[in-house]
Chain A
């Protein structure tokens, strides 16, 4: 089936630094990828929609200058958390859909970010 690879799986960074998370579709091309955030015991919340070759679309309440998204190719989207603070500590998950395989969205394995 469709595979989405996400790296790193875990990262610890100091407050004020930036962290980049990569999301790759390994066996299909994805013009659109999605970034979610999940706090402990909470649901996945859509943060933004990443569009290949154009600007990302952010959900209400998500700071676009803080969460920079780049979708430079049909198989790679990156999320950069800039000037990270402890409240940004969360589980970040990307997703993409292989249209040829139907409607179901495939998710990456997630990145656990801890800001200290």
Chain B
């Protein structure tokens, strides 16, 4: 079993739809949970991070973590064509001295 599982897509939805992106993980040492957005040939941009189970909202984005199921989600409301990108889940353990473990990324396409 891989440490992180993420469906690579592509996931294509119409503009205005609610998007749900998910990752599962197996490493119980992961304490920090992040979502990054990456446009083609660019570095990843941090969207959300959290360290506890439950929901965290920021504008159109909601991050959800279920530690008992080892499952995290990112919801995007009122999706826009500019949201078209690759979304990467990322996990950290320890106090920030360690690098992150990434999922493969989901390629999201928002159709105008």
Contact = CB atoms under 8 A, between A and B. Distances in A.
Interface in A67-116: 91, 93, 95, 97, 99, 102-110, 112
Contacts of A45: 102
Chain B interface main SS type: loop
A70 to B, nearest CB: 18
Interface stretch (B13-21, B43-51, B65-73, B76-84): B43-51
Given A43-B105, A99-B96, A106 B8 contact: no
A44 to B, nearest CB: 5
A107 B49 contact: no
Nearest to A107: B43
B41 A110 contact: yes
A contact patch SS: strand
Interface residues of A, number: 27
Interface residues of B, number: 25
B29 interface: no
Interface of B: 8, 32, 34, 36, 41-46, 49, 51, 88, 90, 92, 96-105
Interface of A: 4, 6, 32, 34, 36, 41-46, 49, 91, 93, 95, 97, 99, 102-110, 112
